[in-house]
Chains A and B, each alone.
Chain A
Amino acid sequence: MTTSDTSRRQFLVHASLGLSCGWLSLHWPAIQAAQAYARSAAQSSPAADFQFFSREAGVEIEAVAAQIIPSDDAPGAREAHVIYFIDRALVTFDKEKQAAYTGGLKQLQLKTGQMFSGVSQFSSLSSAQQTELLTAIEKTEFFELVRLHTIMGYLSRPDYGGNHDQAGWKLIGFEEQMTFEPPFGYYDSEENKRG
């Protein structure tokens, strides 16, 4: 075990014993600041440019994602920067899905022209038309893939470029923390009150 492991371990043990106020107050802000920096860096860099998508392709895929998790009074896929998550996934851990997107987008635009003559861009359809088209292709592998990536991008750690401002987590009521204290929910809280 390395020295840093040892001190981390001691910190963890002490924290749980409630003895480590000194260590905690000394190091915790630094830890938090480092995490915050990593997150903001992760989110700001891809916003400038896509690494895989062309601008046009990005707009099209984002329009699909925005139908899967739409925007209403709460942020949807668009506000959560899901498109940046997908773009980054396609140049990192899901590189092998690039062809599926390129081919899928071509089919999507073809279908757009077939269903709504004279229109070549999915994103320029009205919302009702978009829903109609996606309903027609919702059993395809391409739709499944975009759905999966949209969900991932909406609910994964913000470090991956999506879930901007933890929008997805806020919607569902999830919090990511190293520690929680009981009672956790309504029923155990009620039970505690009864004694």
Chain B
Amino acid sequence: MKKFEDKTAVDFVIVGAGGAGGVVAKELSTAGFEVVVLEQGPYFHESDFSHDELHFKDIFDPPAIGREVITNDHSLQPNTFRKTADQKAKVTAFAQYGRCVGGGTVQFTGNYWRFHEIDFHEASRWGTIEGAGLADWPITYADLEPYYTKAEWELGISGAAGANPFDPPRSKPYPVPPLPVKSSGVLLERGARKLGWHPYPAPMAILSQPYQGRSACQHCGFCESFGCEWGAKSSTLASVIPLAEKTGHCEIRPNSYVRKISTSKNGVVDGVLYFDADKKEHFQKAKAVVLCANGAETPRLLLMSKSNQFPQGLANSSGLVGKFFMLDLGSFAMGTFEHELNDFKSVRVTRVVQDFYESDPKRGFYGGGGIDARFEFYPIGFALNGLAPDVPRWGAGFKKALKENFNRTITIMSHTTCLPRESNSISLDPEITDAWGLPAARFTYKSHPDDFKIMNFFRERSLELLDAAGALTKWSWPLEDAGFAAHLMGTCRMGNDPGKSVVDKYHRAHDVPNLFIVDGSSFVTSGRNQPTCTIQALAYRAADHIVRTAKNGTYRFSA
């Protein structure tokens, strides 16, 4: 791998080697630009991963099992949380994100849903919603479609084109067919058909067949929260980052924690300040910076990058950096079945339903989503959280329930809209700092009433589905507002008006000519809470634009 020196002003520094950063690194380096990617976390390889639930599977406290190995470690980087701005934020393990080369794509479930056409102009369709800042995107589905296709083909996505009647138009089928259906998928299909819904094979970022020199899924069952030992999960670690390194123009620099984006007197970015693994500070010079640090770390870094010239934080003349924070909402319902499912094997999700994707005025509130069926647990997690509420928590009854239900339980999970609200935000905590002395990310979040209504709607549909599928028992829990977040969106929203958005429709910061921001923070709306596919399509589109304009000299870079 190519190594650059700090004092060499490389063409691009990319902050974050995750779902977006990996794609941008590959695109810029194959176009011939010199690229340094600074990643907070370590550089793992397939041989570093294992099936060890105590090592890799972290569940938020309480109860805590496992370590925060491939995700952010809250003991080093605490979060604080409050529901509303008038409260004092308390230390809470609130946000989870991938913190390693490959980012969240290393440990994600692999759900890979495109947005639908409606997602880009819901404000026009639906109108104003009190207490929310619903807005149209400055781009349409048609603008993004070629890049969805590119993402699916370059990264390797399994799926069946045309199987979902609600799917938006596509220019190409999936590169590899869907993964084999599991019992949870068959049950979803049976239930959904009985109800007149339209189940279809899940599009997954996990290979069903060998593709581009990578192995197919071997169905070991350790996807969500784990790194894939087969390299079959289409993380940027397994797919595009090796291609970026192969160009000889790209250095992936792990354990490099950026604390400030530096600007010169004329208001352009000239490099970044970062800590290495030994907490020693470096200054990496750059002609331009692409910020791909995720929906929480991106706004945090911009706010930490304030200067005399940018007193509100970098790229923040609108005051909207960190605002309109959206996260993953949805509902759970669980059920048990007569026969053995063995759903601990293979990928999490094999069938999905999107019959209720669009907002329907007849429901009387905004919102939509999708439903999948899965077995949500590994053995320890199942014993702690997978049994019905009326099961004894210890003793003979507990043991009997473990024995009978581990292989007979499924979760019907819904993924729903999260309305953008200006009052929901990520800001710098005034008191709490991380292990590097930097201000902790402070999360302020309260769901909109319509978010609750749609979650409840989906919870009812999920229970119906369990009945229709023939569940022997079923249960769910009362809805509570989000206590943690894994999909971090909206905090540097994209738009045409510099007063109402942070980046333009090509992800260039309105305020800074050589700063680009592309990750979940660019989102204007939440979609249906499966953001990775769209994050990566946006990354391909942004990179395409950056390459073209950098080559023809449209942008004046610093240096």
Contacts and interface: CB of A to CB of B under 8 A. Distances in A.
Nearest to A12: B215
Interface in B204-250: 210, 213-216, 218-221, 229-232, 242
A100 to B, nearest CB: 14
Interface residues of B, number: 55
B48 to A, nearest CB: 10
A23 B67 CA distance: 34
B118 interface: no
Contacts of B218: 15-16, 178-180
A157 B181 CA distance: 28
B396 A151 contact: no
Interface string B95-108: 00000000000000
Given A171-B402, A188-B186, A191-B181, A176 B51 contact: yes
Given A4-B47, A8-B46, A179-B218, A68 B398 contact: yes
B12 to A, nearest CB: 23
A174 B393 CA distance: 20
B299 interface: no
Nearest to B48: A5
24 contacts: A13-B231, A15-B215, A16-B218, A70-B396, A72-B399, A74-B403, A93-B54, A93-B67, A155-B383, A157-B51, A171-B402, A172-B383, A172-B403, A173-B403, A175-B344, A181-B219, A182-B180, A182-B219, A184-B182, A185-B342, A187-B186, A187-B337, A187-B341, A188-B180
A91 to B, nearest CB: 15
Contacts of B343: 184-185
A186 B344 CA distance: 13
Contact of A157 (B54, B395, B399): B54
A155 B379 contact: yes
Contact of A180 (B53, B219, B407): B219
Interface string A156-195: 1101100000001101111111111111111110110000
Contacts of A180: 218-221, 345-346
Q: Which of A70, A156, A160, A184 has the most CB of B within 10 A?
A: A184
Q: Which of B54, B180, B185 has the most CB of A within 10 A?
A: B54
Interface string A45-74: 000000000000000000000011110101
B380 interface: yes
A157 B53 contact: yes
The 5 closest A-B pairs by CB, nearest first: A186-B339, A185-B183, A172-B406, A187-B183, A185-B342
A12 B346 CA distance: 16
Contact of B230 (A16, A67, A152, A181): A16
Contacts of A188: 180-183, 185-186
A76 B396 CA distance: 10
Interface of B: 45-47, 51-54, 63, 65, 67, 180-183, 185-187, 210, 213-216, 218-221, 229-232, 242, 337, 339-346, 379-380, 382-384, 393-396, 398-399, 402-403, 406-407
A160 B229 CA distance: 21
Interface of A: 1, 4-5, 8-9, 12-13, 15-17, 67-70, 72, 74, 76, 93, 131, 134, 138, 144, 147-148, 151-152, 154-157, 159-160, 168-169, 171-188, 190-191
A169 B402 CA distance: 10
Contacts of A190: 186
Given A68-B394, A188-B180, A12 B46 contact: yes
A187 B45 CA distance: 35
Contacts of B402: 171-172
A172 B346 CA distance: 17
B208 to A, nearest CB: 11
B24 to A, nearest CB: 21
Contact of B187 (A13, A74, A144, A187): A187
A13 B46 contact: no
A190 B181 CA distance: 11
A168 B402 CA distance: 10
Contacts of B342: 173, 184-185
A173 B187 CA distance: 20
Contacts of B345: 180, 184-185
B46 A9 contact: yes
A5 B406 CA distance: 35
Contacts of A173: 340, 342, 403, 406-407
B63 A179 contact: no
A58 to B, nearest CB: 20
B222 to A, nearest CB: 9
Nearest to B190: A187
Nearest to A11: B215
Contacts of B45: 1, 5
Nearest to A15: B215
A160 B54 contact: yes
Contacts of A178: 218, 220, 229
A48 B187 CA distance: 49
Contact of A156 (B54, B220, B229, B393): B54
B411 to A, nearest CB: 15
Given A1-B242, A188-B183, A156 B219 contact: no
B1 to A, nearest CB: 9
A13 B215 contact: yes
Contacts of A157: 51-54
